[in-house]
Structure 1
Amino acid sequence: PGYQVRLLDPHGNPVPTGVPGEIYVAGNGLARGYLHRPQLTAERFTANPHHDIGTSTGTTTGTRMYRSGDLARWLPDGTLEHLGRADDQVKIRGYRIELGEIETALTTHPHIHETLVTTHQDPDGHRRLLAYLVTDTPLTP
């Protein structure tokens, strides 16, 4: 109770049933942001322009929404179908990992010019990170 889930297009407009959109969450228990991460907070926690949304405890006027980064669509029966991520974030062993941040960190090495980081699922079902590197010299461990 007191929460709303919205599927919005890249311009912040609600999407119709069957059309993919990004999941936004609003409501009374929404966090204020990420601890000691003001830039990430500004990116993910946005003003809620949907002032007409009512809740059991009142309206959401003046509240914020959390931009989840997850893509979904409403099915005709009202079910929310998760479609994946809108970004390169993955979840491994309970940790959310931004693949782009790893790629950026790897390219700080003077001999690494290009990177691609992805995930691989082992036959036993465990997901692991894989990094492919383009270097100007052979790297030694």
Structure 2
Amino acid sequence: MAIRQLRFVGDPVLRKKSRKIENINDRLLTLLDDMVDTMYKEDGIGLAAPQIGILKRAVVIDIGEGPIKLINPEIIEQKGESIDVEGCLSIPDESGMVKRPERVKVKYMDINGEDIIIETDGLLARALCHEIDHLDGVLYIDKLEKEEE
């Protein structure tokens, strides 16, 4: 495993759309392991491949229940809304209030090539939305709630 170099706001790779992953191979599995190691080193709860300069639809998340490795994740259903504080490893020392769905259903492929559907709410739902946004070149700062005057 290796720690990868994070990309920070202003880096053009963070604004590009990631490519769908066609094959699960050793290189991809190493990438996902490296992403987990990098996320832990940086004390994050999620990391998307573009944040380390790789435009592939790969995400890792750990909200305290062990790492989840998601290949080609997509939100297939969302319900409700919730506004809460978010930060991002690619935008250090900043945070802001962001509106997200309260509950999401996400389809992804696991490292064995199996299609998985998870339905969740709370922090995991927020983290999934945040990381999937990264795959489309969207940062949380694009969705900040306007402060009331």
Same fold, TM exceeding 0.5?
A: no
TM-score by length of 1: 0.24
> When you count strand as a share of all residues, which structure comes out higher?
1
Higher share of residues assigned helix: 2
